[in-house]
Amino acid sequence: MWLYLAAVLVGLYLLWRWHRERQMVPRLSEKYVLITGCDSGFGNLLARQLDARGLRVLAACLTETGAARLRAAASPRLQTVLLDVTSSRSIAAATAWVRECVGDRGLWGLVNNAGIAIPCGPNEWLTKDDFVKVLDVNLVSLIEVTLSLLPLVRQARGRVVNVASVMGRISFFGGGYCISKFGVEAFSDSLRLEMRSFGVKVCVIEPGYFKTMITNVENLEKNFLSTWEKLPEETKASYGENYLKGSVVALRRLQKTYNSNLRLVTDCMEHALTSRFPRTRYSAGWDAKLLYIPLSYLPSALTDFILSWSSPKPAQKA
């Protein structure tokens, strides 16, 4: 009897949650949304997706080529602006442009999507500048863009959507990428609590492995090999040629596991922007749901064993 009662309660809860999450924000055609990193990948697809829903999309691109290509693929409603998220001057100019576009309506949505993954590799192989390069784009710039546009989002009682990663939950390769995504999670948590009283909702997107420009295996492999070539001979001897070859093989193996359906991620972003009751966190991809996020809850010793089991081993061990 208790088992049936529990099943009924779970079913009612899932039905209630499904109904709640299907409730949409009214008057979407009046809402302005700014998306960073729209030259390609998630940002480009999301811009076209929201444009098709009738929202007023303000797409920030790094290059004029990317902006022109996006305008050609969208309706006249969509507007583009050139934005280098690592430049305070560029951010200030884009903020002034957005303020002029939205007027008294404010900015309903800010999607911090721009990001890079390279340089990456074993931490010992990298320099401080390698870490700073990634952190500057993925974390520091995200914070600066958010702080610059937050008054406009607060005015609209809107949404901030930050793109993190499952690597913001569990870190198993070196470099600034995982560090930056952990930082995005922490910044989003504090901002969500601060903005609660203003009616602003802050959501985090945690994709698994998807095929985008920043996860291009060829680029990662080139970066890995070029980093190896710059290492001192002593460091190369410690790791060994087999470690290098094993790492390259692992990168190529990853290519077979990438998910090419970017809509799984952009649908989460769209829901965060258009639902009356968005989730705090969205996990996108079955690898995120069934592997990486569950791994993040395991004891560290067990997680370390699982992640290191198939990893290449250095020549010199303790």
Cβ partners under 8 Å of residue 164, min gap 6: 181, 184, 185, 188, 204, 205, 206
At 211 the three-state DSSP class reads coil
Measure the CA–CA gap between 180 and 186, rounded to whole angstroms. 10
Measure the CA–CA gap between 296 and 200, rounded to whole angstroms. 28
Measure the CA–CA gap between 318 and 121, rounded to whole angstroms. 21
Measure the CA–CA gap between 51 and 34, rounded to whole angstroms. 12
The active-site residue out of 177, 209, 239, 282 is 177
At 169 the three-state DSSP class reads coil
Tokens of 303: 């997680």
The pair phi, psi for residue 11, each rounded to 5°, is -60, -45
Tokens of 10: 């779970």
Query: Does the annotation mark 32 as catalytic?
Result: no
∠ CA(35), CA(37), CA(40), 5° rounding?
115
Residues with catalytic roles: 177
